């Protein structure tokens, strides 16, 4: 499909104008960054895996009635999505302590939380995406109280869906980040899950061994990132041909 002009290039994806008004082509790059892009690398095959995995999760969410921006996958690296206005928040849901929460509160990584905890960060790379409260969000007008109620509802539904899907393939959903978009339909607007859901934006630990199957493999130099993502894709049955750890085999 012919894509239109480039609209935006982020750290892991590029957005192009889509074929119809109100659509966007979302291209998944192989670039990996961490610590606000202080650490960077190009990881062969990561974009292909994230495109497939995000398609899988967004489709599943749609099937249980959680609205998303996803329309269809176009090819190995691109998907067609609805254009939406991204609310400038990273919405994080945590089931177990890890990462910045463990550091901030001194809770050992892997400690189960008494209930899922939702946090908000203001999406601004120049500030390092600082943690903010609902007070900041309301006062600065990033989202209304009605939006916040809807965002919390969406975040918890995504958490239940993703936790269940992952548990079914022996993986613990430790935490994840989503972004929410505003879609306008005539005089109405509604909120949808946007951006991507992939091992770049989740913490996924093998339930039996504790092996990390997410971007912490890159952040913490724990091994081969695409092997980890391909393992998630393999367990979910969405392993695309020609990616992942298989080596070409010689036939005589
Ligand atoms: P954190 O513990 O570093 O705050 O991360 C919480 C979750 O959010 C974790 O699943 C990784 C994800 N995340 C992103 O998707 N993008 C980011 O820029 C950061 C810092 C975290
Ligand atoms: N996406 C973020 C970055 O590069 C950080 C992260 O995922 O750890 O900067």
Range of the domain at 103: 85-206
Residue 249 has a pLDDT of 47
CATH number of the domain within which 34 lies: 3.30.200.20
Give dist(CA 103, CA 219) in Å, integer.
15
| 50 and 146 both lie in a single domain | no
Give residue 160 CA to ligand 2 midpoint distance, Å: 24
pLDDT at position 240 is 60
* Same domain? 79 vs 89: no
The reply to whether 219 falls in a domain is: no
Mark whether 66 and 101 lie in a shared domain.
no
CA of 97 to the centre of ligand 2 (A): 18
Question: Measured between alpha carbons, how far is 203 from 176 in angstroms, rounded to an integer?
Answer: 6
246 occurs within a structural domain: no
Ligand 1 atom having least distance to the Cα of 103: 2
Q: Ligand 2, residues 33, 178, 229: which to mutate, most atoms within 8 A of Cβ?
A: 33
Establish if 167 belongs to a structural domain. Answer: yes
Nearest protein Cα to ligand 1, atom 7: 176
- How many domains does one find in the chain? 2
Examine the domain organization and report whether 73 and 121 are in the same domain.
Answer: no
Q: Is residue 38 part of a domain?
A: yes
CATH code assigned at 154: 3.30.470.20
Q: Which ligand is closest to the CA of 33, given by its number? A: 2
Whether residues 176 and 91 share a domain: the answer is yes
Which residue puts its alpha carbon closest to atom 8 of ligand 2? 34
pLDDT of residue 242: 57
Q: What is the model's pLDDT at position 50?
A: 98
Q: Are residues 158 and 107 in the same domain?
A: yes
Q: Are residues 134 and 194 in the same domain?
A: yes
Q: Do 40 and 140 lie in a common domain?
A: no
Do residues 34 and 75 share a domain? yes
Q: Which residues line ligand 1 (CB under 6 A)?
A: 92, 98-101, 129, 175-177, 201-203
- Do 61 and 16 fall within a single domain? yes
**Predicted confidence (pLDDT) at residue 226 exceeds the cutoff of 80:** yes
Q: Is residue 213 part of a domain?
A: no
As a whole number, mean pLDDT of residues 81-108 equals 98
> pTM, whole model, 2 decimals?
0.95
């Amino acid at each position: 499909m012919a894509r239109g002009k480039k609209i935006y290039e982020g750290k892991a994806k590029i957005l192009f104008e889509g074929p119809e008004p109100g659509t966007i082509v979302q291209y998944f790059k192989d670039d990996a960054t961490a610590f606000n892009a202080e650490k960077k690398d190009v990881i062969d095959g990561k974009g292909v895996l994230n495109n497939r995995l995000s398609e899988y999760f967004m489709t599943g969410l749609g099937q249980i009635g959680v609205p998303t921006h996803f329309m269809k996958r176009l090819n190995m690296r691109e998907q067609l999505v609805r254009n939406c206005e991204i609310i400038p928040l990273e919405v994080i849901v945590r089931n177990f302590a890890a990462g910045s929460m463990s550091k901030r509160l001194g809770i050992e990584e892997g400690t189960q939380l008494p209930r899922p905890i939702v946090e908000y960060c203001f999406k601004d790379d120049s500030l390092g995406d600082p943690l903010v409260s609902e007070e900041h969000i309301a006062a600065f007008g990033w989202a209304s109280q009605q939006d916040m109620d809807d965002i919390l509802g969406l975040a918890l539904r995504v958490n239940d869906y993703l936790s269940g899907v992952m548990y079914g393939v022996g993986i613990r959903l430790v935490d994840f980040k989503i972004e929410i978009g505003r879609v306008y339909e005539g005089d109405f607007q509604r909120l949808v899950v946007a951006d991507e859901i992939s091992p770049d934006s989740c913490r996924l630990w093998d339930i039996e061994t504790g092996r990390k199957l997410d971007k912490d493999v890159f952040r913490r130099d724990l091994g081969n990132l695409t092997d980890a993502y391909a393992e998630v894709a393999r367990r979910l049955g969405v392993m695309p041909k020609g990616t992942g750890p298989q080596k070409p085999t010689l036939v005589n």
